[in-house]
A and B are shown apart, each in its own frame.
Chain A
Amino acid sequence: MNLETHLRARRAEGRTLLVPYVTGGLGAGWLDVVRAVAAAGADAIEIGIPFSDPVMDGATIQEASQRALDLDATPAAIIADAASLDVDIPLVVMTYYNPVQHAGHQRFASSLAESGIDAAIVPDLPLDELDGWGEAADAAGIETVLLAAPTTTDERLRAICERSRGFVYGVALMGVTGERRALAAQAGEMGRRCKAVTDKPVLLGVGISTPEQACEAAESADGVIVGSALVRRLLQGGGPEAAATFVSELRSALDVRDAARASGDPT
């Protein structure tokens, strides 16, 4: 499935896009969590491949990554297991560059493709270092999603939006992943800046933790990514049902917003 095509089609229906994040290998039931999240209204799902030194992640994803590694999760096993996911939405892996380059660009890209994974996000591989992986990913049909940050200059932002595949990931705050009390002031500006230079889907992520924050973020972008708030529920012992409940809450809030927007009724 092509991620960008899929997201563009859903956006054209007037739907705010919702992409939850699940740490791969976090307990034996992680595949069931992904299935439950898909059924609860996700438009695509990010599967985190844990890395020992996740510098873009806050405490929650760090803990989930370490717990998965302690359970002997490996990149190869997570990717292979993902092949059994018969969900009808695109799958995106999120990992760091070292496991990717360690496996080898071509080998990693083709293993994703063989498992039916559509795209990859590698947050420590910025535009300027993309070459080797970017070419291998393109050749294997894997879309590489690039991140834009509040500090990104206008010139870089245009180049990032141009090169990004699938969607553009707008970092909604200055900082690492994790739940926040309120949506950051930078979120709206980030979404608007991206939307001004691309017609690719623009999703905001990092620090979007509640249905209210998701709706607020959606004001300036095509959708949201929600990671730590979901993963925290899994770390606290929640399984597929708890994940589905939370994602349904997010989905319902966005649906209400979308319906109001469609009827021209500002909420």
Chain B
Amino acid sequence: MAAPARGEQVVLPTTLGGEPTGLGRFGEYGGRFVPETLVPALEELEAEFRTAWVSDEFRAELGDLLTNYAGRPTPVTECRRLSERLGVRVLLKREDLTHTGSHKINNVLGQALLTRRMGKQRVIAETGAGQHGVATATAAALFGLDCQVFMGAVDIERQALNVFRMQLLGAEVIPVSSGSATLKDAINDALRDWVASVESTHYCIGSVVGPHPYPWIVREFQRIVGDEAREQCRTRTGGDPDFVVACVGGGSNAIGTFTGFLETAARLVGVEAGGHGLESGQHGASVSRGVPGVLHGARSLFMQDEDGQILSAHSISAGLDYPGVGPEHAQLAAEGRAEYVYATDDEALAGFQLLAETEGIVPALEPAHAIGWLAREAGRSVPAGSTVLVTLSGRGDKDANQVAEMLGETLG
């Protein structure tokens, strides 16, 4: 399959990727640990997704939206100056160039179509950095759906631009002040709303987390990132990259990317939030430091204390500030098919500036972790001369204020 050229219609694969086994299991991870009230809606969603995926009408409509609304396919950009600086060949998969500025739109358009097929009039979503909230609000505006977005009070503060964007798009942003007032707590409140509203509302989960079927359907909607990138790399370099790197919070851009390269020889690297360093305990490195547990409907790896209470994560980036990871990542780590590393807040900030200065691309703080990790490891665990594909999951406009503040600059 050749990647479509810019302007050419995106065609979705006719088959689904590797399905979870049993009740949504990836190895021992996954599952459907939810209040009874939600079980029928999850069964309905799975059935609708299966029917939709084999419907020519659904596939044509989603393909058209991805092409003519979201701007797919996104290019792969060769980074000449950065490559020279690091001594490795760096290619970027440019999800920052999609409409709304991140990979989140891929999933949201798919789920919005499912919402309409199920006859529901309202969508709710959680958001951390605000990118998924903006994407959901966008799709809701496009489809004429009511939209409410749950967002931690801490994140509302640090992502003020995205809050305003959601409001412009007609969504209501609901502040969440319980717990750590970040992404984890926003998911809790979205689930609580859904327990009350499930008959009329679709919960548009933004990552490969949550109860079955979410980790699977969100992966299928994000798989386009990796499928495109693989063909684009082959066209450009004549082969597969040595390393495929993506940041991991819940892990949707990473799983979308990795899925396209599972059958290649590429080393798959997920970069988690190292926060103030793993020894500090102030981080979001759930694969590196988490233990198996059950939260938000799935068994996966979570940061928790000796009694099984979930710990607060910390990250400079709201989108990675989550004490868990999607179940398929937990399984890829267990199999050793993907490896999970981290970049600290400082390294992410350095990556943010490095990409801006060398390539004229301002990344979001989330993928800045992937750049920061590569900058640290190039010539070390990433041998000189390697070809490295990095998924640039989103653009950094939303982070400009926060970064300016951290660098001691005052914006007018």
Interface residues of A (CB under 8 A from B): 51-58, 62, 66, 69, 74-76, 97-103, 123-129, 146-153, 156, 160, 171, 173-176
Q: Can you list 9 A-B contacts (CB < 8 A)?
A: A53-B185, A55-B191, A66-B179, A97-B294, A123-B35, A126-B36, A151-B39, A171-B36, A175-B196
Say if the beta carbon of B89 comes within 8 Å of chain A.
no
A242 smallest CB distance to B (angstroms)? 26
Are A152 and B309 in contact (CB-based, < 8 A)?
Answer: no
Would you give the shortest CB distance from B160 to chain A, in whole angstroms? 26
| B127 smallest CB distance to A (angstroms) | 17
CB contacts (< 8 Å) of B310 on chain A: these are: 52-53, 98
A171: chain B residues within 8 A (beta carbon): 35-37
Beyond A55-B188, A102-B293, A174-B195, is A69–B309 a contact (Cβ under 8 Å)? yes
- Indicate if the CB atoms of A102 and B34 lie closer than 8 Å: no
Query: How far is it, in angstroms, between the C-alpha of A150 and the C-alpha of B35 when the chains are bound?
Result: 12
Nearest-Cβ distance from residue B144 to partner chain A, whole angstroms: 24
Our pick among A98, A147, A174 for the contact of B293 (Cβ within 8 Å) is: A98
Nearest CB in chain B to that of A57: its residue: B192
CB of A149 to closest CB in B, whole Å: 4
B residues contacting the other copy or chain, number (CB 8 A): 37
Interface membership of chain B positions 7-38, coded 1 if the CB is closer than 8 angstroms to chain A and 0 otherwise: 00000000000000001000000011111111
Residues of A near B309 (CB, < 8 A) are 51-52, 69, 99
B interface list, Cβ under 8 A from A: 23, 31-41, 178-179, 184-185, 188, 191-192, 195-199, 292-297, 299, 302, 304, 307-310
Chain A min CB distance to B294 (Å)? 5
* A53-B295, A55-B192 given; 8 more Cβ-contact pairs under 8 Å: A98-B293, A103-B308, A123-B36, A124-B33, A126-B39, A129-B23, A146-B36, A171-B36
B196 and A124 contacting across the interface, CB-CB below 8 Å = no
Which one of B33, B196, B198, B302 contacts A97 once the chains associate, using CB atoms below 8 Å? B33
Given contacts A55-B192, A56-B195, A176-B192, A74 and B307 within 8 Å (CB-CB): yes
In whole angstroms, how far apart are the Cα atoms of A223 and B310 in the complex?
34
Q: In the assembly, what is the distance between CA of A248 and CA of B188, in Å?
A: 34
Indicate if the CB atoms of B23 and A151 lie closer than 8 Å: no
Contact in complex: A128, B32 (CB < 8 Å)? yes
Chain A residue nearest to B292 (CB atoms) is A101
Whether A151 and B32, one on each chain, are in contact in the complex, defined by CB atoms closer than 8 angstroms, is: no
Using known A-B contacts A97-B33, A150-B37, A174-B198, determine if residue A58 contacts B192 with beta carbons closer than 8 Å: yes
Q: Is the CB of A62 within 8 A of B178?
A: yes
> Given contacts A151-B40, A174-B196, are A53 and B179 in contact (CB under 8 A)?
yes
Selected from A55, A66, A148, the residue in CB contact (under 8 A) with B36 is A148
The smallest beta-carbon distance between B354 and chain A, in angstroms, is 37
Min Cβ gap A89→B in Å is 26
**Residues of B contacting A147 in the complex (Cβ-Cβ under 8 angstroms):** 35-36
Residues A129 and B32 in contact, CB atoms below 8 Å apart:
yes
Closest to B180 in A: A52
> Is the Cβ of B294 less than 8 Å from the Cβ of A55?
no
A87–B177 Cα gap in the complex (Å)? 38
Contact of A126 (CB < 8 Å), options: B34, B188, B292: B34
Top 4 A-B pairs ranked by shortest CB distance? A102-B308, A175-B196, A149-B37, A99-B308
| B199:A174 contact, CB within 8 angstroms | yes
What's the nearest-Cβ distance from chain A to residue B302, in Å? 8
Residue of A nearest to B184 (CB): A53
Residue from B37, B197, B309, B310 with most neighbouring chain A CB atoms (10 Å): B37
The winner among A56, A58, A156 for most chain B CB atoms within 10 A is A56
A123: chain B residues at CB < 8 Å are 35-36
Beyond A101-B293, A124-B294, A152-B39, whether A75 also contacts B33 by CB under 8 A is no
| Contact status B32-A126, CB under 8 Å | yes
Q: Is the CB of A101 within 8 A of B198?
A: no
